[in-house]
Each structure stands twice: as C-alpha cells, then as structure tokens.
Homo-oligomer: A and B are copies of this chain.
Amino acid sequence: MRITVAQLNYHIGNFERNSRLIIDAIKKARDEGSDLIIFSELCVTGYPPLDLLDHIDFIRRCEETVYKIADSCRGITAIIGSPIINTQPEGKKLFNAALALSDGKVIFEARKALLPTYDIFDEYRYFEPAKDFRIFEFQGKRIALTICEDLWDEQPFPNEFEKSRLYTISPMDELAKYNPDLVINISASPFAYTRIEAKRKIFIGKALKHGIPVISVNQTGANTELIFDGGSLIIGKNGKIFKQLPFFEEALYTFNLESLYEDFTEPEPVVPDTVMLVYKALNTGIKDYFGKSVFSKAVVGLSGGIDSALVLVLAVEALGKDNVVALILPSRYTARQSVDDALKLTSTLGVKYEIISIEKPFTAFEEILKPIFRDLPPDVTEENIQARIRAVLLMAYSNKFGHILLNTSNKSEAAVGYGTLYGDMAGGLSVIGDVYKTDIYKLARYINRKRIIIPESIIKRPPTAELRPSQLDTDSLPEYRILDEILFRYIELQKPAKAIIEEGFSEELVKRVIKMINANEYKRYQTPPILRISHKAFGAGRRMPIVAKY
C-alpha cells in the first residue's frame, strides 16, 4: 500500500483555502500512485476553530466541504479531520472526527476520545468524547485511526502536581484488542520548544508497545498565536524513525507502507537546534498573521534596544523589507547612541524609517497636566506618558497607512509588569511576548550567525527603558539572568515559591518576583495575542483571576 502524508497549513474558517489545499494534495498523491493520503486534525476548519463551532452554519460549511473533498477522492482514499454532529440525544453537540473518504462517500469515521482541556486547549467545551472504538479495515490492513491526544493517555506533565495519566481510558489499549496492523494519528499539535523530545517519545513508545508502525500527521503554519511545527513522524514497527517531515514547512511525503514492517536502520538523527526552531516558529507566526489576514505591512517602534531590534529583523525576514517600516521616536531621555544604533539597523536591513521626536506632545501633556499635578514630583506617570505618546504615533501610522503595529514586549517584562499598558504593550501581535529576555539574546546571536545584522552595540548595551535620566532596567528589576530562572520555574514549571527557594534562590527575591507576576495580571489581560513558543505562554493558555488575593 502506498501512503502519502500531507503536512499542510490551514486557515481557520477558510473553507475555500483548506479544501483547495486538500484537494490539490489528493490529486498529487493519486498521480504518485498512492492508495491513501492522510491529512491532519480538523484540517477542514483549521485549528483551533474555538466558538465558531457554536454556530450551526459553520458546521454546515464543514459538512459541505467534507462532501466536496470526498467527491475528489476517486481511486484514492483520504483521511481528513472535521467536526461532525453528535446525533445522540445527549451530550455535547459535536465530535472531533477523523473521516475516511472514498468515491464521494465517508467510508469510516473515528471520533476523538481524549479531549485536551488544559493550557490553550478547550476541546471539551465543544466535543463529546468517544466511548467506543472500532478498527478501520482498509486494503487488508487493520488501522487504529486516532486523533492527536488519543495517543497521549500517558504524558509527562511539567507540573509535579499533575498526574501522568490525565484520562481514565487509553484509546490505544482499547484498539489494541482488535489486533491492528498500524496506527494512524492525525494531529494539530502546536509548537513548544520544550516538547520536541516528548512528542517523539510518545509516538515511538506506542510503536514499541504495540509492535506496529505509527504514522503521525501534524499540520504546520500559525493561526494567530498558535504555531504548528509540522515534523510529522513515520515510525516503523521496530520503533525507529523511518522519516520525519520538516519543521514549519508544508510537505507531501509518499512511501510504501511495507517498508515500515522491515527492520530498517534509522537515518542519522537530526536534533534540531532549539534557538533555530524558535526563530522559525516566530517567523511562521508573523508570516501567517499577515498572510491569513487582509494586512501585508507592519510598523515597529524602534528604540535602539535589543527587543525592538529583534522584532524588526523578524518582521523583515518574514514579510520582506518593503513591507516593514520602523518609527524611531526619541525623547529628551533618549541617548544619541540609541538613535545611531537604530539607524544602523535600518540601514543594514534597508527598511524605510521615520524619526519623530516626542518632545512636542510630551511638553503639551506636561503643560495641560500642570494645573492638576502641580508640584508633585515626576514618577512613573511621566514615564508612562512617553510610552503612550509613542503608541499614539505608532497607531496613527498604523491607521493612516494600514500597517499593523507589532508589539515588542518580551516575556520577562510581561511577567513582572515592566511595561506601559496602551504604551509599549500596544500592538496587533506580540512577536516575542513568550520569549524571556535571556533568550532574546540567543535569538539575536542566531540572527547574527552569518553576518552582523543587529549591531553589537545593541546586544552589548545594558537594557534601559530610557524614560528618565540614566535609567537602567536593573534599577527596578533583578538581573535578567536570575529573574528568568525564577520566572521559568514559577510560570512554566508551576513550582511553589518554597520549592524555588529550596533550589537556592533568595527568599526575598522569589517572593518579590511572584508578587510582581500576580499583581500584573490586569495588564497582561489587555495585551495583544502572543506568539506561543513555550508550553506555558501568557494568554489563553494561562487563565488567572484579576481581582484575587494570592
């Protein structure tokens, strides 16, 4: 049997695009003599469709699209993912299904049993879990057709408090009773740089446990904050990797199923560099945010610091230099070096820039607030006014010319609230809001790996917001090297303060940092969507009460 794995980039709710992608791939696979082509989870809708699933007309569009695709399956069978209506009188209104299509018909239907409802996942909000399991018999093979989480009945959660078995059933154990020859797993598995190895292990583990090949088909591309990394895996009966599809790229790959039962030698394992993967993830995130919306151009506020420099480079590499504009917005506190560095970068990149001093509006605000503030000493108020003036200018540019403002806040700042709401926290998309400051430097070094793009002086200068004379980030914050270690333990690993302190961090510091994180929930509530590269990003994956005491 010849099988094609289709790792494609879907767009939520864009039935025309998704069905065109799918039907084109079906044609190519048939031309290559494939018997079966496999697409990924919910490829008909794009992932995650969220509350669009509550709309009956959206579901009707899914049904029409499934039949349109089925109609193109002549002489080939396709496995696709789509929501389907639960026709039982009880339960949630939909199932998350894998459908086998052939000659205009749905010839088999598998329903997802394990519905991830944690972090960014809300599947139990929409779907009824499957309770019974059947084998898909196809051309003499008995296929265990599963959907993403169905294979994740055992998983290592980073939170020690969490169980390793989140579910009370194991779909593969149920399906194993029917002696399958093969596991197919269609997925929508988003990227997290900490999870690459875990994914491999899950699939290899299932191949070894059941002694049969595993074909896992993921998608690629980004839908707002969620970025899918592809990397679909084809694993032999021997538990070895027969083929891994590329990361962050569309790919079609055709092979003979028989090969997976042979005792092949694994090709030299390619352990991808984490920094490179994060770079590619962010690149994909930016590309698809624009590519899937009606916008093509971005504006970035360029301060001369490393964060905005990195965002500018990422934007240029994703969108092309002619689609990006930098606004340099100096104030009375901006060092000459900041503007010089910013200009050096725009010149290296060849992007259009504008320099606008914020002095006039700043003075105007000072004047009109004088009768109210009187002789009160300057404080964070005046600093915020500057950051907000910059946002007014960036948004004015955005409004006038249709450029989307890219936000340049990093995860360390977002965590401790070192940023101005409606100021530097503004934007349509937060590009590096899931990247800790210490990792910002790694990305900058990666970008400079072949030639200097980001000036060394930007990388080497101590971080400063330049909102008052001689300000440094370390005036208000611990060194990022220490801060990021604490943040990672509290946010990603969800360790209690006590455990972090026991690792040797100062008690006073740990408590102060956690207090800052919690006190700034209200700010993060209003930030733009953040490209997610970790397994615990701010945004939909981390839901904290605002008016709470903890």
CA distance A395 to B93 in the complex (A): 45
Task: Please state if B395 and A372 are interface contacts (CB–CB under 8 Å).
Answer: no
Q: Which of A14, A363, A545 has the most CB of B within 10 A?
A: A545
Q: Which of B86, B498, B542, B545 contacts A223 (CB 8 A)?
A: B545
Given A57-B496, A547-B224, A357 and B365 contact (CB-CB distance below 8 Å): no
Q: Please give me the residue from chain B that is nearest to A325 by CB atom.
A: B372
A208 in the interface (beta carbon within 8 A): no
Task: Please state if B548 and A12 are interface contacts (CB–CB under 8 Å).
Answer: yes
Q: Which of B51, B167, B372, B494 contacts A90 (CB 8 A)?
A: B167
A369 in the interface (beta carbon within 8 A): yes
Tally of chain A residues near chain B (CB < 8 A): 97
Q: Mark A60-85, 1 if CB is under 8 A from B, else 0.
A: 00000000000000000000000000
Q: Which of B11, B159, B526 contacts A548 (CB 8 A)?
A: B11
Task: Please state if B365 and A392 are interface contacts (CB–CB under 8 Å).
Answer: yes
Set of chain B residues within 8 Å of A58, measured between Cβ atoms = 550
Set of chain B residues within 8 Å of A92, measured between Cβ atoms = 163, 166
A289 in the interface (beta carbon within 8 A): yes
Task: Please state if B388 and A392 are interface contacts (CB–CB under 8 Å).
Answer: yes
CA distance A546 to B13 in the complex (A): 11
Set of chain B residues within 8 Å of A372, measured between Cβ atoms = 354, 356, 397
A399 in the interface (beta carbon within 8 A): yes
Set of chain B residues within 8 Å of A356, measured between Cβ atoms = 368-369, 372
Q: Which of B117, B361, B426 contacts A365 (CB 8 A)?
A: B361
Task: Please state if A384 and B395 are interface contacts (CB–CB under 8 Å).
Answer: yes
Task: Please state if A494 and B161 are interface contacts (CB–CB under 8 Å).
Answer: no
Q: Which of A14, A92, A393, A526 has the most CB of B within 10 A?
A: A526
Q: Please give me the residue from chain B that is nearest to A118 by CB atom.
A: B125
Set of chain B residues within 8 Å of A527, measured between Cβ atoms = 526
Set of chain B residues within 8 Å of A393, measured between Cβ atoms = 365, 368-369
Binds B, one of A42-50, A184-192, A467-475: A42-50
Task: Please state if A57 and B498 are interface contacts (CB–CB under 8 Å).
Answer: yes
CA distance A14 to B545 in the complex (A): 12
Binds B, one of A23-31, A305-313, A374-382: A374-382
CA distance A497 to B368 in the complex (A): 49
Q: Which of A57, A293, A373, A498 has the most CB of B within 10 A?
A: A57
Q: Please give me the residue from chain B that is nearest to A363 by CB atom.
A: B364
A481 in the interface (beta carbon within 8 A): no
Set of chain B residues within 8 Å of A395, measured between Cβ atoms = 384, 388, 421-422
A197 in the interface (beta carbon within 8 A): no
Q: How far is the CB of A189 from chain B (nearest CB, A)?
A: 18
CA distance A122 to B120 in the complex (A): 12
Q: Mark A493-505, 1 if CB is under 8 A from B, else 0.
A: 0101110000000
Task: Please state if A54 and B399 are interface contacts (CB–CB under 8 Å).
Answer: no
A335 in the interface (beta carbon within 8 A): no
Q: Please give me the residue from chain B that is nearest to A294 by CB atom.
A: B519
Task: Please state if A422 and B428 are interface contacts (CB–CB under 8 Å).
Answer: no
Task: Please state if A380 and B399 are interface contacts (CB–CB under 8 Å).
Answer: yes
Q: Mark A343-381, 1 if CB is under 8 A from B, else 0.
A: 000000000001011101101110111001100100111
Task: Please state if A51 and B544 are interface contacts (CB–CB under 8 Å).
Answer: yes
Q: Which of B57, B361, B422, B546 contacts A529 (CB 8 A)?
A: B546
Q: Mark A514-541, 1 if CB is under 8 A from B, else 0.
A: 0000000010011111000000000010
Set of chain B residues within 8 Å of A328, measured between Cβ atoms = none
CA distance A473 to B349 in the complex (A): 44
Interface residues of A (CB under 8 A from B): 11-14, 17, 46, 48-52, 54-59, 86, 89-93, 117-118, 122, 124-125, 159-163, 165-168, 223-224, 288-289, 292-293, 354, 356-358, 360-361, 363-365, 367-369, 372-373, 376, 379-381, 384-385, 388-389, 391-393, 395-397, 399-400, 421-422, 426, 428, 494, 496-498, 522, 525-529, 540, 542-550
Shortest Cβ-Cβ A-B pairs, 10 listed: A12-B548, A13-B550, A57-B496, A381-B399, A14-B549, A360-B364, A56-B161, A422-B422, A361-B364, A364-B364
